Structure 1
Amino acid sequence: MRFSIEHEGRSLDAHLHRSQNQGKIKGNPVVIATFGAPVGSTVSDQGHLDAEYAEHLSLLTSSTVVAVSLSGVGGSTGTFSPAVWAEDLQAATRFVIGDGLGESVVLIGYEFAALSVVEAAAGVREVVGIASVDPTLFVFEEEFDHAGYLELLRNLKVKVGDLGIESFKRELDEIEPERLVGDIGARPWMIITAQDRTASNLKVSRELVELASAAELHRIAAVGDNLRADPRVMAILLGWIERAV
């Protein structure tokens, strides 16, 4: 089912799928998932999270799944910024709880949204698990090209609006991954990263796992362009949800 989540004057495009196994779905957390930025030359040819993804994840987890496009992506209004994407995910969580779809939520985010789900979870107690897939931890490197990344998002048809380089830098500085680790406390956190990412990416991933109370790190080799279509990711996520959440 396609629907919109309205908040702060923005409208988020989302898809919902309920598992047909009502016996198993009772008591399971609702899964809210987002790729963040789309891939490919257009939003439609490679896609972001959509009805097909929501259905697939719902069938595998026996859970209700909400797949959401964050501000500036696909059919969602608004524009991208790190703070806005975290607010979007908090709004999606409040919608799920307020609409009676479930009593708890698991957040799954890919790439830049892998950071957004952690930031969102820090402020919402109903989030009982967080999964960060292929997180863009390189954005915290000193030599990170802020202008180049914003241009990449524009090329991927993400609406960046008038977010400038200095504003982008300030928002990234405010994320403070180590602080977020403390804020999520003992809630389960899964990080799945590609073995061939930058050395800094892997180093920061290990450091965060060591700091966190209940974090796990999985490294996947021979990934190629990204982890979105890698079946090993789904297998890891399913095992983690069943075991830890």
Structure 2
Amino acid sequence: KPPRLGPPHSRACARSPGGPPAAALRAAMNRGGGKNKKVEIAMIRRELTGERHVSLTRLAGDTGTDEGEWRSQLIWQNFRIVDCTQATALVLGLDHPNFCEGKEAAAKNSAELFEGQLYDAGVAGLPLDRLSSVHSHYFGSGFERVVGKRLRAFVTDRYEYDDKTSRVRAPTKMLNAMRKLEARDLVEEQKEWHEQTKDRMLNKPKEVVKPPNFAPSQTVFDPDQRPRYASTKMQPDELEERGGGFDGKGGGKGATGLF
């Protein structure tokens, strides 16, 4: 009798070395908290009400868990994310003028995601399968199901697609424009750094001049601080007491009675 592999979610994870598929994640969510996709999307939309933008990390929660990963994928599929692959990614709220949702938001998120990948690839471009796998990683579902359009038709309309090699390249104009924006950002950062450095130099706080570190002068005579002779390790007074003084009258016994 073959051993059981556990619940369906565990069996799906065992079959998929890259991690649990989106269907398994949804099944786990339905079993765990009784949530479904429509209810979760409505909850996310409620959190975006009255906001211009909300941090993606705050809205998605802990992406290290099945629930957090599933919620993050729902945000990618249904709401517009700006700077989507950056740590500072923001989800546009209902009060933002560029707010959109549904397939329109998914298409714009896909375009921004692809543009970043193609810009890093340069003129060499990327295989179509690579873009498909990257898209599936963030969205957790098939491209056509999320965007409502085939991936090949989507990239053909927006970028340069080679049917023979199945590679996608960003148009030269787009690459040049993105490079100009990047160069402009670098120039602005450099100007800001120079201004901050100049401001720190001009507004540098005055340092209080400290007195030199001299040893304190001796105000009370201390006999123990007098110098001692290196040979005897005695002070002059001690030598006078033991030797009888230095008046020329020695205490030794010499030759007497000669005169």
TM-score by length of 2: 0.21
TM-score by length of 1: 0.22
Higher helix share: 2
Which has the higher relative contact order, 1 or 2, with Cα contacts under 8 A spaced 6 or more apart?
1
Higher strand share: 1
